[in-house]
A and B are shown apart, each in its own frame.
Chain A
Amino acid sequence: MTATTIKFYQTGTHTVGNRLLDPEHRSVQADMRRTNSLNSGHRACQGCGEALGARYAIDAAMQATDNQLIAANATGCLEVFSTPYPETSWQIPWIHSLFGNTAAVATGIAAAMRVKGRSDVRVVAQGGDGGTTDIGFGCLSGMFERNDDVLYICYDNEAYMNTGVQRSSATPGAARTATTPAVGDAPGNVFGQGKNLPLIAMAHEIPYVATAIVSELRDLEAKVKRAMEIRGARYIHVFVPCPLGWGTNSWDTIHIARLAKETGVFPVFEAERDRIVSVSKIRKQLPVEAYLRPQRRFAHLFSPTPNTEAIAHIQALADRNIRRFGLVDPAAETAVAAPVATGNP
């Protein structure tokens, strides 16, 4: 029997860091010298998933580029809570664009750097789902099509949160928002065709596309690092729960993100050009109800009477994700092989 790489908790398989791990194997977030690109004092709500996701991603990008990084930021929560003029929480060169043109602004910065011969300076564009999947979609598609040397990061909290939780094209079916109230025959948001931006990005055949989630820090950091090793247009879609807009407890942000992955609601994968190259498997598969129940935006699905039809619809979408991306590993149930005890007698 061979001794396999045992994954137990101290080596930080799932935790942020670990005292027993070699420093080079620890996450950026475990490092006392991390940049804290998005610093304390920002005005995000308690338990904000986007603030967390943004610091994870930009700190990783800073480390990957040796701190030679410029960020363009679309209007949205992330910009509003971090930079009320003249204060800022950003500890990196950072520019605020319009709601819809971040990709174009970032393209411009990348062009300027090229002209100046500063190939060491890398450019990130970032925004929420509204600025990415709705308003900035045209600019973003152009950036992809031209293969501009920009990493675009979308922090997806599934609605326009800073203006008061209005529906976006990333809002899931049945979710209650200010503009899709839980009334009538089909309460909450309609089940539309969906608008899967990572797959749209893959259709542009850009060099690198990935999805990530705040509950899987190491995976998220690895993807940002990988993206920074590549030139050309890259896209990372980060799933970030919003306690305010989703009606969840502030302390459950990471827990909710984890449930989105474990139910198959949000597939976590990585693609090069149009080909998926890796998938983060579900560890303990759960029905979508586990994910929906703790969220007040889905409360109307459970009371006064359960809306079994809508729940089944969401389950069908999750099941489709599981099949399509191969999220469940049939061999995952096999036990970890352990080294055999030898020694006396």
Chain B
Amino acid sequence: MEKPFAITLDVGSSLANKTGTWRTYRPQYVDRLPPCNNACPAGENIQEWLFHAESGDYEQAWRALTANNPLPAVMGRVCYHPCETACNRGQLDESVGINSVERFLGDQAIKLGWKFTPPASSSGKQVLVVGAGPSGLSAAYHLARLGHRVTIQEAGPFAGGMMRFGIPKYRLPRDVLDAEVQRILDLGVVLQLNTKVENIEQTMKDSGFDAAFLAVGAHIAKRAYIPAADSARMLDAMQVLRGMEDEEKPMLGRRVVVYGGGNTALDVARTAKRLGATDAIIVYRRTREKMPAHDFEVEEALQEGIMIKWLSTIKNMSDEGTLTVEKMALDATGFPQPTGEFETLESDSLVLALGQDVDLSLLNGVPGLEIKDGVVQVGTNMMTGRAGIFAGGDMVPSERTVTVAIGHGKKAARNIDAWLRGETYAPAPKHALAEFDKLNTWYYDDAPKMVRPTLDLARRQSTFEEVVGGLDESTALFEARRCLSCGNCFECDNCYGVCPDNAVIKLGPGNRFEFNYDYCKGCGICRTECPCGAIVMVPETI
């Protein structure tokens, strides 16, 4: 071959030199489990739906969200958001306002009339859901999307369960609840109201149901023995909160005393205030630190002028409504002990908010069931001791929140679906957790959390208008974009940019990246500079 002056060898590219052979460690892309997803009782893929919300594709975000939870507008109001407690961003500045964004997406869906995609085919199976509370609705939704015919039988006059009869309007407006329930029914779910299931075996047999999911909730108020005169006005929290859904509101009077320390006690006291009580007083036997109610609810109640008597128990109630209250003291183990010191408290009515029990009468005569501590025992697949009968929500051992109930509904639906096909549901294995130390936080700028607006105090004390407002589009978008995308590639191009050997191949929008192992020397810069910890280095086998 003719070569130019002074050239004796063929020119060539360094691509002939496969520097990948130098490597002792190889980089690999991984997905890790973000702490928010890990903490969500409803098993939402929060990082995924935030990813769509970040680009302003709210409908896609809502669809990703509702793949796991059909009630985002409800969730965005009543969930206690353990996701935000777990959020890695909390260690950087403040946690991402996941709950606010969820509410924004839920409200957006209602406003724009987004509907669920109906199932492609029908299984021909019939499933009975007992109870139209969060757990029952969630199960019905998932079963319907899996192609089963679902009938919900609800004892009460409305759907919603504790979301309607336990959570006051100022926290969850009823039009929001109605809209999200209707969307589930639009999937073809049949809802039969005022239909109490008296005997589950019989009902299933009569109507030919292939499986049943029980989620009757816990609606029977626990009582404490308080000696009271005949005309003393003593009610329970369920009577008051359920009564709020009737035309005739409960008559509580000017001075209302609520006995108990849970969220329900606060709900009742705040409701009493809005009904016109001048004084709403909570009597609780332990201290604020020991109170089971959530701190933000205590805070909101105190702002509204609710008074709380700590370390006190009610001994009796006279005709005129005078309560005898005994002071308590915490012992070494943190339990309240009587001190023998008494005082009196005037009241027009006393409301007991001491927790609820489950009405298990529909299970009479069902063989194989195990009932312990007043609740039904279920396996990890949510099935009771009776094959084909599953249960969830407040009637099984659990933390009694709406979100947990929704999670039960989903889990039960998947197991029912597998059971109906004669299979066992095997959940996908979880990725390793994306801990804070996996992140390179240099790449994240400080960005303050968007705070939701709050209704002014005067209106909070006199009306049932919603207390906490929502974010608008710009603030919701900002909040979504505060997500660190822990453990999941968000296509920041860092690995592609920082490789000294051009050994990262960019596959284009939505397709992430690939390593070119022909040239990757295994230096590991990509791993160090990946903001979200989505690259690991693994030893090469020699």
Contacts and interface: CB of A to CB of B under 8 A. Distances in A.
Interface of A: 3, 6-20, 26-27, 29-30, 32, 36, 38-44, 46-49, 51-52, 55, 82, 85-89, 217, 243, 249-255, 258, 335-336, 338-345
Contacts of B22: 46
A52 B494 CA distance: 13
Nearest to A284: B442
A308 to B, nearest CB: 29
Interface residues of B, number: 67
Given A32-B506, A47-B525, A341-B453, A16 B14 contact: no
B335 interface: no
Interface string B1-32: 00000010111111111110010000000000
10 contacts: A8-B481, A16-B497, A20-B481, A27-B493, A39-B13, A40-B516, A51-B501, A52-B498, A86-B10, A343-B470
Given A6-B478, A251-B527, A253-B525, A44 B500 contact: yes
Given A32-B506, A47-B523, A87-B14, A10 B481 contact: yes
A52 B478 CA distance: 33
Interface stretch (B149-157, B158-166, B389-397, B484-492): B484-492
B10 A341 contact: no
Given A17-B493, A250-B523, A55 B13 contact: no
Contacts of B474: 3, 339
A232 B508 CA distance: 39
A41 B508 CA distance: 23
B123 interface: no
Given A341-B452, A344-B469, A87 B17 contact: yes
B493 A16 contact: yes
A87 B12 CA distance: 5
A251 B524 contact: yes
A341 B22 CA distance: 54
B475 interface: yes
A22 to B, nearest CB: 13
Given A341-B472, A344-B470, A345-B455, A8 B444 contact: yes
A106 to B, nearest CB: 21
Contacts of A8: 444-445, 447, 478, 481-482
Contacts of B9: 85-86
B523 A251 contact: yes
A338 B450 contact: yes
A29 B494 CA distance: 9
A51 B14 CA distance: 14
Interface of B: 7, 9-19, 22, 54-55, 442-448, 450-453, 455, 465-466, 469-472, 474-475, 478, 481-482, 484, 490-494, 496-498, 500-503, 506, 508-509, 516, 518-519, 521-525, 527-529, 531, 537
Nearest to B474: A339
Contacts of A7: 445, 447
Q: Is the interface of A mostly helix, strand, loop or mixed?
A: loop
A46 B523 contact: yes
A29 B498 CA distance: 9
Q: Is the interface of B mostly helix, strand, loop or mixed?
A: loop
Given A336-B446, A341-B472, A9 B522 contact: no
Contacts of A335: 446, 448
Contacts of A87: 11-14, 16-17
For A12, A41, A89, the residue with the greatest tally of chain B CB atoms inside 10 Å of its CB is: A41
Contacts of A85: 9
A304 B49 CA distance: 53
Nearest to A10: B481
Contact of A336 (B15, B447, B450, B537): B447
Contact of B492 (A17, A49, A338): A17
B11 A18 contact: no
B509 to A, nearest CB: 6
Contact of A9 (B17, B444, B448): B444
A29 B519 contact: no
Given A20-B481, A340-B475, A342-B472, 11 more contacts: A10-B490, A40-B519, A82-B14, A87-B14, A249-B524, A335-B448, A338-B450, A341-B469, A343-B475, A344-B469, A344-B470
Contacts of B481: 8, 10-11, 20
Contacts of A18: 491-493
A217 to B, nearest CB: 6
Contact of A27 (B18, B497, B509, B523): B497
Contacts of B525: 47, 52, 250-251, 253-254
B453 A15 contact: no
Contact of A40 (B15, B482, B491, B531): B15
Given A18-B491, A86-B9, A55 B500 contact: yes
B198 to A, nearest CB: 43
A40 B523 contact: no
Contacts of B492: 9-10, 12, 15-19
A164 to B, nearest CB: 20
Contacts of A217: 497
B523 A39 contact: no
Nearest to B459: A345
Contacts of B445: 7-9, 13-14, 336
A15 B522 CA distance: 21
Nearest to A258: B442
B484 A39 contact: no
A43 B19 contact: yes
A20 B480 CA distance: 13
A315 B21 CA distance: 41
Contact of B15 (A15, A39, A49, A52): A39
A26 to B, nearest CB: 8
Contacts of A341: 450-453, 469, 471-472, 475
A344 B470 CA distance: 6
For A15, A26, A29, the residue with the greatest tally of chain B CB atoms inside 10 Å of its CB is: A15
B31 to A, nearest CB: 17
Contact of B500 (A27, A48, A345): A48
B11 A86 contact: yes
B491 A19 contact: yes
A338 B516 contact: no
Contact of A41 (B13, B448, B470, B494): B13
B444 to A, nearest CB: 5
Given A6-B478, A16-B492, A88-B11, A250 B442 contact: no
Contacts of B527: 251
Nearest to A40: B519
A67 to B, nearest CB: 17
A339 B447 CA distance: 11
A320 to B, nearest CB: 25
A251 B526 CA distance: 8
B527 to A, nearest CB: 6
A174 B493 CA distance: 37
Nearest to B443: A14
Contacts of A9: 443-445, 484, 492, 531
Contact of B490 (A19, A51, A255, A258): A19
A218 to B, nearest CB: 10
B389 to A, nearest CB: 43
Contacts of A13: 445
Nearest to A27: B497
Contacts of A44: 500-501
A27 B500 CA distance: 16
A126 to B, nearest CB: 16
B17 A251 contact: no
A214 to B, nearest CB: 8
Contact of A345 (B55, B450, B466, B471): B466
B443 A86 contact: no
A16 B496 contact: yes
Contacts of B12: 86-88
Contact of B503 (A40, A249, A250, A336): A40
Contacts of B531: 9, 15
B77 to A, nearest CB: 12
